Every structure is written in C-alpha cells, then in structure tokens.
C-alpha cells in the first residue's frame, strides 16, 4: 500500500509541474493551416517531375503508394551497377489507348546530370498499395516489388521487376492476399513468400519463390488450413531455437479470426495441421477466436517473453459456455508448434482493455472463472461451480485485479486496500486477495503470481 501512496504523490507532483510548464510556455506551435500545408517539391523532385512531363505530357496524375515504407510519388533507388540512383514514378495517364492500363510506372535515369525518362511500364492494377526493394536469391541484383489492388479493393497482385540497361522486365506477377520477403529456409538468401487464395474452393496456398540461375522460380508450396477474408497482421518470429516462421493472423469476417503459421522443414515450406477431433468424432479448428463485448482480437505474440512466439486461441471460461457468443467471457489458450502440430502451452485470462494477462496454473483450469466489474475497471476471479454460478462472496472470491489510470486521482484514493503489482506507461495495475483465497488450495504463491502476471 505504501508503494501505491508514493506513486500517488509522484503523480500529483508531476501533474502540478506539467500545469506550470503549460502556463509558462503557452502554445507556441504552428497554426493548423501550417500543419496541413503540403510540403514543396525539392529541386531534384522538380527536375524529375519536369522530365516526366516532357516524356508523358501534362495530362497525368501522380499516384502515391498507399502503404509501405515508400509513400512519395518519387522513389529513388540504385537498381543497377551504375553509381547513380534511378527514379521511379507512378502516375495515371489520361491519354492511353483503349484497353491499355491507365496506371503507369516510369523509370527515369540521369544522363550527364540531367534526368530523362528511359522506360515506361503498364501496371497490372488501378492503385499502388506499396513498393519495396529486395535482393532475392543470389543477391546479385535488386528487385522491385510492387503490390497493386483493383478498384474493388478485394483483388491484389504482386509484381516482381528487374531493371537492367534501361529496361524493366517482369520476373513474376500473381494474385496474393499476403506477401513477405524473408529467409524462411535459413539458407542465407532472401525468398519471396506469398499466400495465394482460391475463392472457388475457399482454400489458400503458401508459396515460396526465389531467383537463381534459372530465373525466378517456385521453391515449394503448402496448403493452409483456411482462407482469410483479410490478413490483419504478419509476425516474423521464432518457433524454437532453429525455426523461423511467419504467423499470419487473419479475419474470417463476422468477428471471427484465425492464424496460419508457415515455416520450413528440410528447406520446404510447410504449415501445421489445424484440425482436431472432438470426443464425438466431429472436427474442429484448434486455432480459432472471435471478438465479443468483452474481447477484442488478439494477435500472435511472445506472451511469456521467452523469445519464441505463441499463437492464441479462445475458449469460454467456466460458466460462459452456454451463453450467446457476444456475452461470453473467454480464456485465451496459447499454443506453440511441436512436430508440425499445435500444442497448448498456456491457459490464461487476457484483457486488452485492462492491459494485463494472467496465466492460470493447472489447478485453476476448469474451476476458476471471472466476472467483469466495469465500474471499478477490475476483473474479479472466483471459484466456479454449477451450484454457486457467478456469485461473488466470501466463499467464492479469490482476488481482484484493477487497472487505474495514472491521471485518475479519485480511483487511486479509492484503491487503498490494493497493492500495486505492475504498471504501464499510462496505468497502474493493482491486486487485492481475499483472506479465504490466501489460505485456500487455489492460492497463488508470490513466485507463481510474479511468473504468471504479465503487463501488456
């Protein structure tokens, strides 16, 4: 409690100092109009733009990549053996012939210090999602990787380009729903890994490409467990000391989510089996989760901070199994991949709202549930049985974990019976155990609590 009081005093002093600083300095920043003013082109960009106009005419519209590292209309990169950089500019032409793509990629190079257009390429989409660069395979050249989307935003195409002696050649073009450049097979060379969807069969295929002596080629492919409506995050992580993987978290729509994991065995891409069988013989997905009134989506992460990533799945806490999905409070089960199958590592309570996770010991699983107290921003952990249900009283309550905003002085004062067990940048997390809990068989030792409590 004394630690919490000291934290409270420090917060009050910090708030007073901040208020004084604001009064002394005032608002010296620029106006909103200044903040919204578009940056002017540099002299070099003006020269490139003029060379583009001279080559393509004035009836053009610059197109900006919508994502990725390069967002400018003028992307400079050294693509060949010459010391100077080339300029790549995406634009939309108003003067193309019928049937030609209006989206174009112009490559400009320097000749005696002057920019001039050297190649014009018709693009395979209507919008530029991103442009990136990679040295695939033997690493002797730099490839340009452009991701496009069509007007309906559901069809996406990746194009791999090579620039040499003033000419762009396309090494590969294909549809994709997810794409990464990574040394997935640990051979010291970068590969292009894509997920290719098949909407007809509602399946997806992970494919690994490289560039070598025989040109751009497919190394291997592996079917995935399902097809995602949209990939929401891609995590590069270690499954174990020797295995790097891509963890693809995706949305299936209607608040349902899943994860595909891809990695290599013997140099070939593979994915673990996601299906398991219930006691009655019906199949189910091991890795699946959904959003509810209590839970937002959770991505794959290294939940135990051991350097290896875990994959989340969800199951209702005791007592919530028969409720409507939107009313279910769920446990998050964390899996790792062992022998090409998912193996459960942890069973936990996870709260993105209150910024903590609690890994349950085995003796809690199936007999401990939780109740949300929104008024005080806390989770109440209770022993659960069919007879007691969700009753919170002296015989069922185990402990409460409360999250307090550091600026909420009233909540800090009202939490005098709690002790602080962690803090984030903007919150303090406190705990209060009941006397019965401390002496019962469900009690956590101090070391157990320290090892199982995680600030998110």
Assess whether pLDDT exceeds 90 at residue 18: no
Return d(Cα 417, Cα 58) in angstroms, integer: 72
C-alpha dihedral over 432, 437, 441, 443, to 10 degrees? 10
Q: How confident is the prediction for the chain on average, in pLDDT?
A: 84
Return d(Cα 375, Cα 392) in angstroms, integer: 15
Which two structure tokens, joined as six digits, stand for 456? 């998110």
Assess whether pLDDT exceeds 50 at residue 199: yes
Assess whether pLDDT exceeds 80 at residue 315: yes
Residue 84's pLDDT band (cuts 50, 70, 90): confident
pTM of the predicted protein model: 0.80
Assess whether pLDDT exceeds 70 at residue 36: no
Look at 21-30, 231-240, 252-261 and tell me which has the smallest mean pLDDT.
Answer: 21-30
Assess whether pLDDT exceeds 60 at residue 25: no
Look at 38-42, 132-136, 399-403 and tell me which has the smallest mean pLDDT.
Answer: 38-42
Mean pLDDT of 420-434: 90
Return d(Cα 410, Cα 414) in angstroms, integer: 6
User: What are the chain's domains?
Assistant: 41-173 (2.40.128), 353-456 (no CATH)
**3-state secondary structure at position 396:** coil
Assess whether pLDDT exceeds 70 at residue 20: no
Assess whether pLDDT exceeds 60 at residue 31: no
Question: In sequence order, which residues have a C-beta less than 8 Å from that of residue 9 and are 6 or more positions away?
Answer: none
| 8 A C-beta contact, residue 394 and residue 364 | no
Return d(Cα 256, Cα 228) in angstroms, integer: 10
Q: Write out pLDDT tens, residues 136-152.
A: 988 888 999 999 987 66
Assess whether pLDDT exceeds 70 at residue 35: no
Return d(Cα 400, Cα 66) in angstroms, integer: 45
Q: What percent of the chain has pLDDT over 70?
A: 87
Assess whether pLDDT exceeds 60 at residue 13: no
Return d(Cα 89, Cα 294) in angstroms, integer: 46
Return d(Cα 337, Cα 240) in angstroms, integer: 9
Q: Write out pLDDT tens, residues 168-180.
A: 999 999 988 889 9
Look at 46-50, 81-85, 443-447 and tell me which has the smallest mean pLDDT.
Answer: 81-85
Assess whether pLDDT exceeds 80 at residue 421: yes
Assess whether pLDDT exceeds 60 at residue 326: yes
Assess whether pLDDT exceeds 50 at residue 28: no
Assess whether pLDDT exceeds 70 at residue 225: yes
Q: Write out pLDDT tens, residues 244-297.
A: 999 998 888 888 888 999 999 999 999 998 777 677 777 777 888 888 777 787
Look at 10-14, 60-64, 344-348 and tell me which has the smallest mean pLDDT.
Answer: 10-14
Residue 227's pLDDT band (cuts 50, 70, 90): low
| 8 A C-beta contact, residue 131 and residue 68 | yes
What's the pLDDT score for residue 439? 64
Q: Which helix (H) or strand (E) holds 5?
A: helix 2-25
| 8 A C-beta contact, residue 82 and residue 94 | no
What's the pLDDT score for residue 99? 56
């Amino acid at each position: 409690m004394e630690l919490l009081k000291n934290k409270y005093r420090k917060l009050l002093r910090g708030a007073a100092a901040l208020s004084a600083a604001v009064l002394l300095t005032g608002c010296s920043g620029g106006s909103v109009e200044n903040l919204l003013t578009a940056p002017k082109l540099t002299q070099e960009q003006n020269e490139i733009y003029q060379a583009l106009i001279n080559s393509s005419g004035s009836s053009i519209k610059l197109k900006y990549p919508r994502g990725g590292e390069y967002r400018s209309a003028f992307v400079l990169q050294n693509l060949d053996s010459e010391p100077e950089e080339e300029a790549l500019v995406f634009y939309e032409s108003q003067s193309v012939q019928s049937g030609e793509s209006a989206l174009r990629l112009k490559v400009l190079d320097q000749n005696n210090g002057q920019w001039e257009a050297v190649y014009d390429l018709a693009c395979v989409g209507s919008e530029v999602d991103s442009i990136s660069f990679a040295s695939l395979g033997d690493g002797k050249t730099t490839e340009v990787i452009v991701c496009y989307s069509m007007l309906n935003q559901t069809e996406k195409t990746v194009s791999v380009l090579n620039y040499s002696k003033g000419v762009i050649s396309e090494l590969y073009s294909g549809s994709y729903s997810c794409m990464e450049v990574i040394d997935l097979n640990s051979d010291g060379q970068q590969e292009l890994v894509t997920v290719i969807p098949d909407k007809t069969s509602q399946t997806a295929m992970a494919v690994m490409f490289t560039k070598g002596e025989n040109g751009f080629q497919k190394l291997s492919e592996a079917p995935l467990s399902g097809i995602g409506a949209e990939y929401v995050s891609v995590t590069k992580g270690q499954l174990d000391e020797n295995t790097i993987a891509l963890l693809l978290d995706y949305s299936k729509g209607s608040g349902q989510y899943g994860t595909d994991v891809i990695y290599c065995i013997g140099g070939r891409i593979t994915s673990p089996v996601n299906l398991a069988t219930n006691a009655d013989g019906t199949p189910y997905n091991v890795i699946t989760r959904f959003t509810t009134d209590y839970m937002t989506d959770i991505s794959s992460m290294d939940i135990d901070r051991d350097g290896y990533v875990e994959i989340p799945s969800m199951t209702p806490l005791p007592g919530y199994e028969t409720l409507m999905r939107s009313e279910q409070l769920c446990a998050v089960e964390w899996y790792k991949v062992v022998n090409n199958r998912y193996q459960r590592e942890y069973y936990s309570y996870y709260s993105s709202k209150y910024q903590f996770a609690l890994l349950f010991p085995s003796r809690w699983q199936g007999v401990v549930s939780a109740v949300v107290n929104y008024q005080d921003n806390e989770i109440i952990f209770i022993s659960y049985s069919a007879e007691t249900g969700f009753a919170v009283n002296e015989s069922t309550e185990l402990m409460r974990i409360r999250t307090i905003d550091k600026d909420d002085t009233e909540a800090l004062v009202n939490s005098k019976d709690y002790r602080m067990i962690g803090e984030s940048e903007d919150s303090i997390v406190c705990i209060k155990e009941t006397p019965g809990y401390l002496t019962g068989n469900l009690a956590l030792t101090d070391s157990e609590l320290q090892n199982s409590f995680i600030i998110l």
